[in-house]
Amino acid sequence: MTVSSKVISIEGLSKAYQLGDFGSGTLSRDLAQYWAKMRGKPDPFSIIRELNDCKFQDKSDIVWSLKDLSFEVEKGDIIGIIGRNGAGKSTLLKILSRVTSPTAGKIKIKGRISSLLEVGTGFHPELTGKENIYLNGAVLGMRRAEIKRNFDEIVDFSGVERYINTPVKRYSSGMYVRLAFAVAAHLESEILIIDEVLAVGDAEFQKKCLGKIGQVSKGEGRTVLFVSHNMAAVKTLCSKGLVLANGQLIYKGAQLEAVSFYQQDNNIRSAFVHHGDLHSAPGNENIRILKFAIKSSGNYGITISTGLEFEMTFFNQKSNINLDATFELKNSDEIQVFHNGVLISTNGDSRTGLYTVRCHVPPYLLNAGNYKFKLIFGENQRYLLFSADDFIGFEVENEIKGSNSALVPGVIHPKFDFIIDYQS
């Protein structure tokens, strides 16, 4: 008999919130709702009317944060859950953590869950860090002997040993996160749930946390559900991805494909390869674009310090001209970063057929943020053959800050070698 490796099974999960007054308005309906809840049945008076979309909110007094989610999680998976704000990510984690209950659907969980959803959840501000380790551990389901056994490791991992006997009301938000994550990560549970709270910590601690998450999953066989807006972290850490939008699951698959789907769904196409016939490729009777790929020059995502490489393949249908290709880069504020190109042919000798152009953008040039390319093809650098606005986009991560929530001002981020002289 084969033992199932599924640790989480979700079928038809939905969560509705009532806007305005609570209660059905009559005692008989309240009793009917209570009786349905006691039997594990859906609320008979909850009617799905609209999705959680701003354009619909004025039409309904019920908002569905989640609607009809169904998926399964295998033991040892690291699942990245991504989506825009309001997509339902945090609601899903709160239901799995039993912070709130679903309106409808079935959930089967095999194993103990530890979760880190909000900064300082389960902490008492008047108690010391040491006392809160025991308190928070108990809230998460740890036995006192288990907390005592892991106490030194928790303190060492958090890096707040110097302040462990200080009331946590004097801690910064970053110290809160460090201590809270350390407790949750050392809980001997089968499933670890983490919301976006890691964005509060500094870059060094984030790397430490991500390393710990990888360790508990790959080394200890624990399952991790990880919500993040940092696509580089999702790509590096996770093995699978779920994309939510307006409370619905719109994509599930491998993490790279999930991130790519999310970026395309948000009009950020980070890679393009044309698979159809030549005449259906983007372009016109002069130029057809068949491929545009962007990748990091480093081992992981594109960051300030890695630089990037891009490659474009196109089919030229204009022979015997001076052909040029120009790449115009703009940031998310529509500020032009550069307008640069290359002469494909210089002696009126362009040929019909495929051309590939490759380029390397050096490290410490682009600041962190989102960027998009405009493509311009010309003849003799004067006559336009074809152009495509916002054809492809990419994101540069700020590994120094740990996220893009605290950007250094400026379009570029050069690395200067400063020379300091001192004279007494």
Sequence-ordered alpha helix ranges (H) in 238-315: 255-265
356 plus 236 within the same structural domain: no
62 belongs to a structural domain: yes
Residue entry with tokens 């350390």: 182
211 plus 285 within the same structural domain: no
326 plus 350 within the same structural domain: yes
Is the model's pTM score more than 0.85?
Answer: no
Intra-chain end-to-end CA distance of the chain, in Å = 82
Nearest to 325 by CA among 296, 352, 359, 349: 359
196 plus 289 within the same structural domain: no
Written as one letter, the residue type at 336 is Q
Nearest to 310 by CA among 379, 260, 356, 367: 356
289 plus 249 within the same structural domain: no
198 plus 308 within the same structural domain: no
16 belongs to a structural domain: yes
179 belongs to a structural domain: no
370 plus 282 within the same structural domain: yes
Question: Exposed/middle/buried for 360, CB within 10 Å: 0-12, 13-18, 19+?
Answer: exposed
153 belongs to a structural domain: no
Per-residue pLDDT of the chain (424 residues; tens, 9 = 90+): 445 688 999 999 999 887 654 455 556 666 776 677 777 666 655 543 333 443 334 445 678 889 899 999 998 898 999 887 788 898 998 899 888 889 999 999 998 887 777 656 668 889 999 998 998 888 777 788 888 888 999 999 888 889 999 998 888 877 888 888 888 778 777 888 888 766 555 667 777 777 777 777 776 778 889 888 777 778 878 889 999 988 899 989 998 888 878 766 655 567 788 988 999 999 999 999 999 999 888 766 788 888 899 999 999 999 999 999 999 998 876 788 999 999 999 899 999 999 999 999 999 999 988 898 999 999 987 789 999 988 888 888 876 544 444 467 788 888 888 888 888 7
242 belongs to a structural domain: yes
Whichever domain contains 201, its CATH number is 3.40.50.300
Report helix, strand or coil for 356. strand
238 plus 328 within the same structural domain: no
- What's CA 201's distance to the chain center, in Å? 16
DSSP letter string, 201-234: S-HHHHHHHHHHHHIIIIIT--EEEEE-S-HHHH
Written as one letter, the residue type at 308 is L
340 belongs to a structural domain: yes
Task: Give CA angle at 177 (366, 124), nearest 5°.
Answer: 155
CB 222 within 8 A of CB 191: yes
Q: Which two tokens stand for residue 399?
A: 């590994």
79 plus 194 within the same structural domain: yes
337 plus 281 within the same structural domain: yes
pLDDT above 70: percentage of residues in the chain: 82
Number of folded domains that form the chain: 2
Whichever domain contains 379, its CATH number is 2.70.50.60
Q: Which domain holds residue 372?
A: 271-396
pLDDT in tens, 118-147: 656 668 889 999 998 998 888 777 788 888
Question: Which one of 231, 265, 299 terminates a domain?
Answer: 265
314 plus 343 within the same structural domain: yes
What's the chain's average pLDDT? 81
Q: Which two tokens stand for residue 388?
A: 């495509």
72 belongs to a structural domain: yes
pLDDT in tens, 13-59: 999 887 654 455 556 666 776 677 777 666 655 543 333 443 334 44
